[in-house]
């Protein structure tokens, strides 16, 4: 059984996680980090920290999470959600939440053995543009020890025009899907531009399943079935996907 398979309650997973994939995504990326006992992992943009706790529980690492913002639904700092979840998961001694954000984290350089970030970096691109996206990648490069790995996963689209029937259904979010999402190739270029060597990059094989799961279980999707779930259904996997980049800081 997969590690994420130990947590089959998708209602809870999608109430606590934000974005497609939930714990399956966390496992998919973390398995590519080659995590070793006693290493320190940075989780960038942990939201309620459910993935953070999963990583601390299922891998032999200490996890530091950073997230600068309060929770969108209840206004509490994300750090409070993280530590409440950490206690519930029994990993409070192996998780630390810090209320800072990219690009100005103020940690010393080379502080981390590995970095995990999912469905976060695209928000920075959407809100602040590609130049800031690259600046934030540069900060991740600084924070990683030489030889350490970065696993970045985010919603991405295939390198094709937006299908005509999808365009009018795209969520009118601010920032929009088009503002946030890029392609694997362009994301690889951005990661390389900051000095990383690329180990692996592609569209996730389960991307479509993750989006369908998100449409079925995410509370926002359930409340507004005519918005994101409809767009995901109409798209049918022609444009919308989920990509990842595994990169290494050269020794």
Ligand X SMILES: C[S@@+](CC[C@H](N)C(=O)[O-])C[C@H]1O[C@@H](n2cnc3c(N)ncnc32)[C@H](O)[C@@H]1O
Q: How many residues does the chain have?
A: 251
Query: Which residue, 39 or 105, has its beta carbon nearer to ligand X?
Result: 105
The residue (of 15 and 238) whose beta carbon lies closer to ligand X is 15
Q: Within 83-102, which residues bind ligand X (CB under 6 A)? A: 101-102
Residue 58 vs 67, nearer CB to ligand X: 67
Distance CA(175)–CA(165), nearest Å, equals 20
On the 0-12 / 13-18 / 19+ scale of CB atoms within 10 A, 73 is exposed
d(CA 179, CA 232): 17
- Give the shortest CB-45-to-ligand X separation in angstroms: 3
Burial class (CB in 10 A: 0-12, 13-18, 19+), 213: buried
Contact between 114 and ligand X by CB under 6 A: the answer reads no
Report the nearest approach of ligand X to the CB of residue 51 (Å): 5
Among 4, 13, 14, 17, binds ligand X (CB under 6 A): 17
Contacts with ligand X by CB under 6 A: the residue count is: 21
The distance of closest approach from Cβ of residue 164 to ligand X in the complex, given in angstroms and rounded to an integer, is 28
CB of 122 to ligand X, least distance (A): 9
Q: Which of 167, 73, 69 is nearest to 127 (CA)?
A: 69
**Choice between 19 and 229, CB closer to ligand X:** 19
Site for ligand X in 29-48 (CB under 6 A): 44-47
Element (H, E) at 152: strand 144-157
We find the least distance from the C-beta atom of residue 145 to ligand X, in angstroms, to be: 20
- Is the Cβ–Cβ distance between 241 and 25 less than 8 Å? no
Q: From residue 106, give the alpha-carbon distance in Å to each of 110, 140, 145, 153, 195.
A: 12, 12, 15, 24, 20
Are the C-beta atoms of residues 134 and 126 closer than 8 Å to each other? Answer: no
The CB-nearest residue to ligand X is: 45
39, 118, 187, 190: which one binds ligand X (CB under 6 A): 118
Binding mask 50-69 for ligand X (x = CB under 6 A): xx--------------xxxx
Q: In sequence order, what are the beta bridge partners of 201?
A: 245
CB of 153 to ligand X, least distance (A): 9
d(CA 219, CA 74): 14
Does residue 143 interact with ligand X by CB under 6 A?
Answer: no
Please report, as ranges, the residues that interact with ligand X according to CB under 6 A: 17-19, 44-47, 50-51, 66-69, 78, 101-102, 118-120, 123-124
């Amino acid at each position: 059984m997969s590690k994420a398979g130990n947590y089959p309650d998708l209602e809870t997973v999608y109430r606590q996680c934000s974005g497609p994939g939930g714990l399956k995504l966390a496992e998919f990326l973390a398995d590519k980090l080659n995590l070793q006992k006693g290493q320190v992992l940075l989780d960038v943009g942990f939201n309620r920290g459910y993935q953070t706790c999963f990583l601390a529980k299922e891998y032999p690492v200490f996890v530091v999470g950073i997230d600068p913002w309060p929770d969108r639904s209840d206004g509490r700092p994300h750090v409070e959600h993280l530590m409440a979840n950490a206690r519930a998961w029994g990993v409070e001694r192996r998780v630390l939440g810090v209320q800072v954000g990219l690009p100005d984290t103020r940690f010393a350089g080379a502080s981390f053995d590995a970095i995990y970030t999912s469905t976060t970096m695209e928000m920075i691109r959407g809100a602040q543009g590609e130049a800031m996206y690259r600046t934030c990648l540069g900060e991740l490069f600084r924070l990683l020890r030489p030889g350490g790995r970065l696993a970045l996963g985010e919603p991405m689209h295939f390198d094709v025009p937006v299908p005509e029937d999808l365009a009018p259904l795209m969520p009118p979010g601010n920032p929009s899907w088009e503002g946030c999402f890029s392609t694997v190739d362009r994301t690889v270029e951005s990661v390389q531009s900051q000095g990383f060597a690329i180990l692996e990059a592609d569209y996730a094989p389960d991307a479509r399943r993750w989006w369908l799961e998100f449409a079925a279980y995410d509370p926002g999707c359930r409340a507004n079935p005519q918005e994101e779930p409809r767009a995901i259904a109409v798209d049918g996997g022609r444009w919308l996907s989920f990509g990842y980049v595994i990169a290494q800081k050269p020794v």
